[in-house]
Amino acid sequence: MNNMNIRIPFVDLNFQHQPIQAKLQQAIQSVLDVGDFVLGQALKDFEVAFAQASGTKYGIGVASGTDAIALGLQACNIGVDDEVIVPANTFVATLIGVLRAGAKPIIVDCDAETALIDLEAAAKVITPQTKAIIPVHLYGQMVSPLQLLEFADIHKLLIFEDAAQAHLAQRDGYRAGSVGIAAAFSFYPSKNLGAFGDGGMLLTADPDVAEKMLRLRNYGASYKYYHTEPGTNSRLDTLQAAVLLEKLPHLPKWNSDRLTIAQEYDTQLASLASRGIIPIHNQSGDGHVYHLYVVKIDESNGIERSLLQEKLTAAGIQSGIHYPIPCHLQPAFTNLGYKIGDFPHAEKQAKEILSLPMYPGLSRSQVKEVVAVIASTLSEQQELLVVSY
């Protein structure tokens, strides 16, 4: 499909950037004027601002969300001989981060309704080597902080949040990034808060974790040319931080726009539930920041996901699948020893889910249009089914 045929894109960042374009250009120009491109003032300012907005103390900007996980786990002293519990249905970066820290990912299934990590399943895989759990606040919905804290307390585990999809999400009175020992965020352009390129951050309230993270991202240096450990080079560029600092004040409004759009989808889609279109369940109310709006398509109702996606494409509407292959079935992780059938909820979901267009600026009438195409495809398919009986 070429660009000219896209009527409703999956994501459109122009709605965020166009109204504040002059401010963004100014922010970039000030970095050019000063020239503090690496570890500059805008980075320090953004680290403070984002930690504060997220209800915690320290922010350490790094090159990507993946680095925030890999280096962040190391900063929490998690590594070789440690096991870390992760959900099967996450972006591969969660597992890559664990492996890069030298630890072993232990995969568990997700809940069938919310798609969030199943803590009962997690309790069953704990061994003396288990050091931490990574709750992924998937699609913008937090894993319940109260349940997580109770779980971690009973089993004496660390909580390391993967909050890459959940900037400023809230649940049980906590904000994403303030629940565990530390939390990883991504500023990939299409995330709820996105840079003009790659970026990431670790948040923590623990001064020791913060200090170790500062070293790890900067060649393991505790001060210039004195290196206490072999760290790496992973810093959030001052230019990216300047952009993010300019965008951060707008994030609450953008998130509430996402919530309004999700509520519009919920309303419009309600009548299609009995025909096999079920939105992923929102258990966290207004605290959900809807990085993605995801529905499940129950093919036993006679509608195929691939066909629905084709119909949407033909109508100029982009959609996505997050994610089509659960981590335990990815070739990259075969040596972890998992097989088909190990995590039935995650496997079923991977076959059923479809992400619909979602971004601040998507209009109510566009939501209606998306739902109308789904409804008409359902009617065609389900009529065919009736006729063929």
Ligand X SMILES: *Cc1c(COP(=O)(O)O)cnc(C)c1O
Q: CB 374 → ligand X: shortest distance, Å? A: 25
Q: Is 94 in the site for ligand X (CB under 6 A)?
A: yes
The stretch near ligand X (CB under 6 A) out of 88-96, 294-302, 352-360, 374-382 is 88-96
Please list, in sequence order, all residues whose beta carbon lies within 8 angstroms of the beta carbon of residue 197, skipping any fewer than 6 positions away: 189, 237, 240
Whichever of 184 and 356 has its CB closer to ligand X, that residue is: 184
Place of tokens 């609450």: 252
Strand intervals (E) in 72-141: 83-87, 104-108, 130-133
Instruction: Pick out residues in 3-42 that bind ligand X (CB under 6 A).
Output: none
Instruction: Pick out residues in 192-231 that bind ligand X (CB under 6 A).
Output: 198, 200
Q: CB 67 → ligand X: shortest distance, Å? A: 7
Q: CB 240 → ligand X: shortest distance, Å? A: 11
How many residues of this chain bind ligand X (CB under 6 A)?
15
Q: CB 81 → ligand X: shortest distance, Å? A: 24
Whichever of 196 and 269 has its CB closer to ligand X, that residue is: 196
Q: CB 28 → ligand X: shortest distance, Å? A: 20
Question: Which 8-state DSSP code applies to residue 122?
Answer: H
Coil/strand/helix, residue 59: strand
Q: CB 184 → ligand X: shortest distance, Å? A: 7
Closest CA to 103 of 142, 64, 124, 72: 72
Which one of residues 58, 151, 174, 188 is an interface residue with ligand X (CB under 6 A)? 188
Q: CB 136 → ligand X: shortest distance, Å? A: 5
Judging by beta carbons within 10 Å of its beta carbon (0-12, 13-18, 19+), is residue 311 exposed, middle or buried? middle
Question: Which 8-state DSSP code applies to residue 351?
Answer: H
DSSP string, 72-104: HHHHTT--TT-EEEEESSS-THHHHHHHHTT-E
Whichever of 189 and 302 has its CB closer to ligand X, that residue is: 189
Q: Which residue is nearest to ligand X (CB)?
A: 65
Element (H, E) at 51: helix 41-53
Question: Which 8-state DSSP code applies to residue 169?
Answer: -
Q: How far is CA 228 from the centre of its chain?
A: 32
Whichever of 203 and 303 has its CB closer to ligand X, that residue is: 203
The stretch near ligand X (CB under 6 A) out of 39-47, 120-128, 157-165, 264-272 is 157-165
3-state secondary structure 184-243: EEECCCCCCCCCCCCCEEEEECCHHHHHHHHHHCECCEEECCEECCCCCECCCCHHHHHH
137: amino acid identity, one letter: H
Letters for 320-359 (x = contact with ligand X by CB under 6 A, - = none) are ----------------------------------------
Whichever of 231 and 276 has its CB closer to ligand X, that residue is: 231
Whichever of 165 and 284 has its CB closer to ligand X, that residue is: 165
Please list, in sequence order, all residues whose beta carbon lies within 8 angstroms of the beta carbon of residue 35, skipping any fewer than 6 positions away: none
Place of tokens 């950037």: 17
With vertex at residue 346, the alpha carbon angle to CA 256 and CA 157, rounded to the nearest 5 degrees, is: 80
Judging by beta carbons within 10 Å of its beta carbon (0-12, 13-18, 19+), is residue 126 exposed, middle or buried? middle
Which one of residues 56, 141, 186, 318 is an interface residue with ligand X (CB under 6 A)? 186
Q: How many CA atoms lie within 13 A of 328 on its CB side?
A: 23
Spatial distance between the Cα atoms of 152 and 101, rounded to a whole number of angstroms: 21
Whichever of 197 and 302 has its CB closer to ligand X, that residue is: 197
Letters for 106-125 (x = contact with ligand X by CB under 6 A, - = none) are --------------------
Q: Is 91 in the site for ligand X (CB under 6 A)?
A: yes
Letters for 39-78 (x = contact with ligand X by CB under 6 A, - = none) are -------------------------xxx------------
Q: How far is CA 38 from the centre of its chain?
A: 26
Where on the chain is the footprint of ligand X (CB under 6 A)? 64-66, 90-91, 93-94, 136, 162, 164-165, 186, 188, 198, 200
